[in-house]
Amino acid sequence: MQPTEFARVVNIDAGRVMVVTDLHGDWNAYRHCRDRFLTLQAHGEADILLFTGDLIHSDGPAEEDQSLAIVMDVLALREQLGDRLIYLLGNHELPHLYGMLISKGERVYTPRFEAVMGDHRPQIMALFDSLPFYARTRAGVALCHTGAAAEISSPTIAFRLFNHSHRRLWEEITARAPAAARPALRLALSESAGAPYEMLVRDYLAVSGPEDPRYDDFLLGSLVADHPSFRLLWTAFFNRNEQWYGRQEYLECLDALLTHLSSGYIRQRTLVTGHIVCQDGHEVVVGRQLRIASGVHARPYRSARYLLFDAGQTVYRAVDLLADLHYVFE
């Protein structure tokens, strides 16, 4: 069977895949995972290094947040490994493509990374723009950052997501806000936020002033949030799986996603994700999903795990992957 090609889905037909999740600016965990992979690769025991997203945005103080160092190291490593390094988009990378903010409680994540990117920003944004959303394997193991969502149970909507273009969406929003309309839109946004627009873009996006080409990105980001294509992205990347839907409804969402990812390819039977905190570094969800935590999402931290599995050997159940879990810090 010839595989159906989707712009945001990568196929892995063979090789041993090391899966790492949610490092969130933690250089210690990143270094352990990177060095472990390179050692395993040198011994013929691993072939592909796959990050499921959220390499950026630490909860800790700025001096401990090594998000930029990690992303730049991944870029250098990709030059060395080529398509043997796969980086899937996470919900923390996504907002940087749209000039948006994400927060949890009083913590706003995006401004710090916007500020430190500096001259590296074009290279990093090109990387984020290129990232696939899903991977699928001959083993029948699919991978993504977040999990399944009810909104992508329809094959038509799922296929639209699998072929999403950030640039096309951004161009559509830009066309809806012509230059003549932007002063009034900026004023309305400023009044809503209770701060001058120049202060908002400086503090949130590290934009220097009106002469900066990104001056209106914050404005456009506020408009894109209501677009159906972005609402689909938001649900796909920010939902909380069974914590949102309940176990039975989530199982139905998961079955639908795996069916869509099987189109024109090997049947996908189980899903591997990160995104949500795990006790002991892993959790089997509704029998068909393995959630792992390779860094700060592990409780306790030293229980962080990575997965190393053979992409060419059929896996029937999520529980069958438990023997392939390893401690990051052993």
Q: What is the pLDDT, as a whole number, of residue 3?
A: 72
Give 83-134 as a DSSP string. Answer: GGEEE---TTTGGGGTT---EETTEE-HHHHHHHHGGGHHHHHHHHHH--SE
Chain centroid to CA 14: 23
Go through the domains of the chain in sequence order and give each one's CATH number: 9-174+237-327 (3.60.21.10)
Count of beta carbons in the 10 Å neighbourhood of residue 229 = 17
Contacts by 298-302, CB closer than 8 A, 24 or more apart: 302/327, 302/329
Chain centroid to CA 52: 6
Q: What is the pLDDT, as a whole number, of residue 77?
A: 98
Q: What is the pLDDT, as a whole number, of residue 9?
A: 98
Q: What is the pLDDT, as a whole number, of residue 105?
A: 87
pLDDT digits (tens, 9 = 90+) for 255-290: 999 999 999 999 999 999 999 999 999 999 999 999
Q: What is the pLDDT, as a whole number, of residue 2?
A: 57
pLDDT digits (tens, 9 = 90+) for 52-111: 999 999 999 999 999 999 999 999 999 999 999 999 999 999 999 999 999 988 899 999
Name the stretches of the chain with pLDDT < 50: 1
Cα–Cα–Cα angle for 231, 219, 106, nearest 5°? Answer: 70
